[in-house]
Amino acid sequence: MRLYYEFHGQGEPLVLLHGGLGAIQMFGPVLPSLAEKRKVIAVDLQGHGRAADVDRPRSVELMADDIAALIRRLGLRRVDLAGFSLRGGVALQTAVKHPEVVGRLVLVSTPLRRSAYYPEILAQQAQVGEAAADSAPRP
């Protein structure tokens, strides 16, 4: 899997994961603010933004393995990892499956179980399929 990633700023590494159907650009002015004191590694995940899609399922567990592999490939020992919304699950799975590469974990707007969602959100998510993911804007 080839991921697209960008470096911003200097300091301790912080890997930043976008929300579902999003890309790095969804962080807008938050990214430069984080990069004032950290080396931010912003990642577009499988089939999002500028990252390729491959012939495999889009799963939280596989994307977690991708992030751990990226951290190792970049020669980083341990990073802080932040995930927004749906990709908070990727961040959490990365920490669970690969605790040796994750220092601090930040989950933003990330329900940890299905019952934590509002019913209206579940109904909306039920309408999102592969076609919606494929039509998501790309930079």
Which DSSP category does 138 fall into?
-
pTM reported for the whole predicted model: 0.82
- Confidence category of residue 10, pLDDT binned at 50, 70, 90: very high
49 vs 119, residue with greater confidence: 119
Structure tokens at 3: 């991921």
CATH classification of the domain holding 82? 3.40.50.1820
Phi, psi at 32, each rounded to 5°: -60, -35
Mean pLDDT value across residues 3-20: 94
pLDDT of residue 17 exceeding 80? yes
Q: Using CA atoms, how far apart are residues 89 and 86, in angstroms rounded to an integer?
A: 6
> What total number of domains does the chain contain?
1
Mean pLDDT value across residues 38-48: 88
- 124-133 per-residue burial string, b: 16 or more CB within 10 A, e: under 16: eeeeeeeeee
Helix axes 60-73, 86-97, angle to 10 degrees: 60
* Nearest CA among 69, 127, 64, 123 for reference residue 90: 64
Residue 37, SS3 per DSSP: coil
Proportion of the chain above pLDDT 70, given as a percent: 89
pLDDT of residue 7 exceeding 60? yes
Domain that holds residue 29: 4-135
Query: What's the chain's length in residues?
Result: 139
Mean pLDDT lowest among 40-44, 45-49, 119-123: 45-49
- Confidence category of residue 116, pLDDT binned at 50, 70, 90: confident
Proportion of the chain above pLDDT 90, given as a percent: 56
128 vs 18, 35, 121, 123, 131, CA distance in Å? 17, 32, 11, 9, 8
Residue pair 114/106 in contact (Cβ under 8 Å)? The answer is: no
